[in-house]
Structure 1
Amino acid sequence: MKLVKHAIAWLLATAMLHTAVAAEPVPEHIGQEIAQARVAGKGSFRWFGLKIYDAKLWVGDKGYQTHAPATAPLALDLRYARSLQGKKIAEASEDEMRKLNLGSAQQRANWQAAMERIFPDVNEGTHLTGVYLPNQGTRFYLNGKFLGEIMDTSFSHAFFAIWLDPKTTASELRTALLTDAGPRQ
C-alpha cells in the first residue's frame, strides 16, 4: 500500500512538473496588460506557401468569448518570418477589414492612416503585439516596447476580427489560435 501511495505521489509530481514546463513564460508587456495570461493557441500564416509570421493568442482566466465584442483583454503576438514595410502591414490589415465588411470606408481610411503612423517596418524575428482592451481600444508593442495605441472600440473589433472572426480569410490560423481559448475554472 505504501508503494502504491509513493507511486501515485510520484506520478502527480511528474504531471505537475510537465505542466509547469509546458507553460510558456509570459512576456512582460503581455503580463502587464492581461492578468493570468496564457497562450490559447498558436499557428502560422502563409501566403502562397511563404510563411509570413507565426502568431500566438494570449488570453487571461476569462478566456476568449467567440461572440463579438470580446469582454476580456487578449493579445495577439505576431513574430514575422520576413521583412515587410509597416505601410504594407497597415494596407493588408485595412484590406482584411474591408473583406469582412467592418467599418465604413471613411473609418477604414482613418484606421489605415493610424496604423501607418504606428506600424514600423519589420524584419525576420520582429514581434508586433496588439493588445485588445475591452471598451477602450488597442495598444501596440514592438519587441515588447510600447509603440502606440488606437483608442477606438470599433477599430479594435475590426482589427482582431482579421484573425478571430468566423469569416476570416485565415480560417486554419483562427482554429489554431482558439485551440485552448475557453475560460479557466
Structure 2
Amino acid sequence: MDTHRRGLLLGLALAPLAARANIAAPPEVVAELPGAQLLGNGRLSFLGLHIYDARLWIDEGFSADRFDRHALALELQYARTLYGRLIAERSLEEMKRAGGISETQAGRWLAEMKRAFPDVVKGDRITGVQRPDEGVRFFHNGTLRSELRDADFTRRFFGIWLSPQTSEPKLRQSLLGTALPRP
C-alpha cells in the first residue's frame, strides 16, 4: 500500500476522534463537572425521524458498568419541537422498564420531570447532571430548571441511556463505546 493511501486511511480512521476532541463542553457541564471529557455521542431517531443528538460527558475514572456511581452529564440537543410533558411521560415509560416503581413514586417522578422539562424547539438542549449521592440537576439551554435529590430516580433516569436494559442499545453503545467492558 502506498504512503498516500496509508495516510488517507489513517486520517479516515482518526476523524471521529478528532471530531470528538473539537466538541466543547457546554457551560453547564464545565460549571458542574470541571475537567469533564466527552466519552461518546449518538443520535436517536424514531421511525426515521431525527429526535435528538446525545453526548455523554464524564469525569476521570468512569466505569460503564457502574455509571450510577460517577459524576456525569448527558446532553440532549433536540432536532425538532417536542412538548415537555411528552418528554416527561416518555422518560417515565422508559424508567418503568427497569420495574418496581409504585404508582405513588411514578406520579411524583412524573410531576418532577414535567417541571424540569420545558417544551423544546430545534436546537434546544436539555442537560442532566448526575452527582452520586446528591441526585440530578436539569438544565435547559444552560439554565438550571430543576434539582432532584433522589438516588433511585437518578439511577433509573440515566439508565434510560446507560443501562444494559435500555430500549436503545445502539445509542448506548455510541455513548459508552470505549468505556464498555470487553467480553
Matched residue, 1:151: 149
The answer as to whether partners of 1:102 and 1:158 remain within 8 angstroms in 2 is no
- Report whether the alignment pairs 1:71 with 2:69: yes
Q: 1:173 to 1:73 in 2, by over 3 A?
A: same
The corresponding residue for 1:94 is 92
Identity of aligned residues (%): 39
Q: Quote the Cα distance in structure 2 between the aligned partners of 1:120 and 1:167.
A: 27
Aligned residues: 165
* 8 Å CA contact retained: 2:129, 2:138: yes
Q: Distance in 2 between matches of 1:167 and 1:21?
A: 26
Query: Residues 99 and 28 from structure 1, CA distance in 2 versus in 1: closer, same or farther, beyond 3 angstroms?
Result: same
Counterpart of 1:168, as a letter, is T
> SS of 2:99's equivalent?
coil
Instruction: Show CA shifts across 1:42-91 (max 9, x none).
Output: 000111111110000000112234136x2220000000011000000000
* TM-score, scaled to structure 1: 0.82
Give the TM-score taking structure 2 as reference length: 0.83
Partner of 1:7: none
Q: 5+ unaligned residues in a row in structure 2: which ranges?
A: 1-13
Contact 1:137 1:149 in 2 (8 A): yes
Alignment partner of 1:93: what SS? helix
Q: Residue 58 of structure 2 corresponds to which residue in structure 1?
A: 59
CA contact (8 A) 1:39 1:58 kept: yes
User: Is the Cα–Cα contact under 8 Å of residues 129 and 140 in structure 1 kept in the other structure?
Assistant: yes
Asked if structure 2 preserves the Cα contact closer than 8 Å seen for 1:130 and 1:141, the reply is yes
Bigger-Rg structure (1/2): 1
Change (3 A) 1:49 1:76: same
Aligned residue in 1 for 2:116: 118
- SS of match in other structure, 1:76: strand
Residues 124-143 of structure 1 mapped to structure 2, 5 A cutoff: 124-143=122-141
Task: Check whether the contact 2:20–2:38 (CA below 8 A) recurs between aligned residues.
Answer: no
